[in-house]
A and B are shown apart, each in its own frame.
Chain A
Amino acid sequence: MAITAAPPTAPTASSAGSGTTGRQSRRNTLIGISFILPNFLGFALLTLVPVVAAFGLAFMEWDSYNPAEFVGLDNFQKMFGNDTFWIALRNTLYYGIGHVPLTLLCSLGLALVLNRKLRGVRFFRTAAFFPYVTSLVAVAVVWNMLFNPTMGPVNQLLTTLGVANPPGWTSSSDWAMPAVIITSVWRDMGYYMILFLAGLQTIPVEYYEAARVDGANAWQRFWHITLPTLRPTTFLVLILLTVGSFKVFDLIVVMTDGGPGRATLVLSQLIYREGIAQGEFGYASAISLVLFVIVLLVTVLQFRLGERRDR
């Protein structure tokens, strides 16, 4: 297919006219492309093309069977006039704002605590990863039980702490989202802990030795060595978390199914519902395109901020 060849050749063409360094730069481009090519071919053909096709559908009406029909911006008009879309968008942002920083902190904390030579630390690391591999049904049932407004241990604890009206958690429109966020942080922190643990391995031990010789305490070593060296990992986790929180689906489906009412309905659920379930593929694609643009903006913003901090 001719399509797949287009993106890699584009950079080559644009770098050709840059004077004396042209040959070196072209050589580098070829080498660079040779490295990414095996992955890129598969990626472009099987992910990029369908994604772009799906975005094309955003401007069409398609029932998955009969030929698609171009409808211009109708889908977007429908979307922006529909309050369910706005509710889902708001919920998605709400979830992200809660989920991303909390998970980042918890997973980094876990990785720091479990990256030492303690007796039994292997067991604890494994335990921390378990929420991620525990069946979602079990997760939903147990957390819903913990959050049960009357019999649940969470509210019993809050009552003994003197909270007069403990929240209704998953049975209440106001508290369902916090409950979902808490559960999702609990579930994901072990996953990102792995990434941080691997990141911590790349910090050369010489740095710490030198700092220790200079008499730096643990906090100073963390602040001046661990954190800066870990920045690419932190950035990775931050982006993955952001992207993941915009796409959150499974956990919400089994835990609240978007309820009560529409209190925890998120965009990817709406996309699923409108697209594959209701057969409005054009409309679903339009929502995905909006979601994609939002994530792209946020990601580019995070890239830029990361860049500025490095200067």
Chain B
Amino acid sequence: MSVVEAPTATVSLDPPSVPPVGPERHPVRTAVMYVLITVIALGVLVPFVWMVSSSLKNNNEVFTVPTQWIPRDFQWNNYVDIWSRIPMTTYLRNSLFLSLVITFLQVLTGSFAAYGFSKVRWRGRDALFVAYIATIAVPWQAYMVPQYVMLQKAGLVNTFWSLILLQAFGAFGVFLLRQYYLTIPDELCEAARIDGLSEYGIYRRIILPLSKPALASLALLTFVATWNDYMGPFIYLTSNELWTVQLGLKSFVGLFDGDYAMIMTGSVISVVPILVIFLIGQKYFIQGIATSGLKG
């Protein structure tokens, strides 16, 4: 079974020749662009606005028909009460710990494996890679119980270890980084090989520095996925002191109904760390148009 080789072949180092064409910076175009993205941004934020609005209501005013966008009277105390109604600090700390450890391991092992899948040629590589990707397609619900039985036998249920082991070695990161490594011209690696650098040296000195945007985006997406995960922690973490934010929020749902004002309050709070990570991460995965190491 052979899998597609790096599409980098199309990236020739010669600039493509194209016919000449008129000027390029238009104030009108910029204005149109602003209007466009402002409209998109507003449309995109509407549900978030509902979330914030609901977090400032009494619970029995959240789901009303028709929707009430501005709370009748603002329940600012929701943001105070939530800290005493559930151990929010503990949950935040647990979520943060899990997200950071899993993100770190995923980026580390993922980037390492991605190098093996993209820059070193060996037989069987592509078949193994397809197996990797294909497992992403299996819904977790399908193998949840066998997995649980295994981890229960290993005595890891109800510890952070279970979740770290389950989520840190995902195929997703390997796939993502492999695709980015493919865009890094093989010529760079070849040159380094001729200079006598070992494969590990090439990985560390050339690939890693060049793939910062990809590493940053993987880190962001892994962090968010772990932070927002509900089913994993629900199945594996039973003791209350190990619970994550998402479990804590769900604890406001009772047998027949739930305290949705509190859930929305907690949801707004739990978005804050993501926002911080996102703003930090932006610096790395968006630098405007990049320069590559090709020049020298």
Contact = CB atoms under 8 A, between A and B. Distances in A.
Determine direct contact between A and B, CB below 8 Å.
yes
Interface of A: 7-8, 10-12, 14-15, 18, 25, 28-29, 31-36, 38-43, 46-51, 53-54, 57, 64, 110, 113-118, 122-135, 137-139, 141-143, 145-146, 151, 186, 190-191, 194-195, 197-211, 213-218, 220-221, 224-225, 228-229, 231-233, 235-236, 239-240, 243, 246-247, 249, 267-268, 271-272, 275-276, 281, 284-285, 287-288, 291-292, 295-296, 299-300, 303-304, 306-307, 310
9 contacts: A39-B109, A46-B166, A54-B143, A197-B285, A206-B291, A232-B180, A235-B7, A296-B134, A300-B130
Given A229-B183, A235-B179, A243 B137 contact: yes
A285 B142 contact: yes
Interface string B255-269: 000001001100100
Nearest to A18: B123
B257 to A, nearest CB: 13
Given A38-B113, A50-B146, A201 B50 contact: no
Interface stretch (B33-41, B73-81, B88-96): B33-41
A199 B183 contact: yes
Minimum-distance CB pairs A-B, first 5: A11-B124, A215-B20, A210-B15, A35-B116, A42-B169
Contacts, number: 368
B46 interface: yes
A113 B271 CA distance: 25
A130 B11 contact: no
B181 to A, nearest CB: 9
A247 B169 contact: no
A208 B141 CA distance: 46
Contact of A215 (B18, B50, B271): B18
The A interface is mostly helix, strand or loop, or mixed, namely helix
Contact of B11 (A35, A118, A228): A228
Interface of B: 3-11, 15-22, 24, 30, 33-34, 36-38, 40-41, 43-48, 50-51, 54, 63, 66-67, 108-110, 112-113, 115-117, 120-125, 127-128, 130-139, 141-147, 150-151, 165-166, 168-176, 179-180, 182-184, 199, 203, 210, 213-214, 216-217, 220-221, 224, 228, 260, 263-264, 267, 271, 274-275, 278-279, 282, 285-292, 294-295
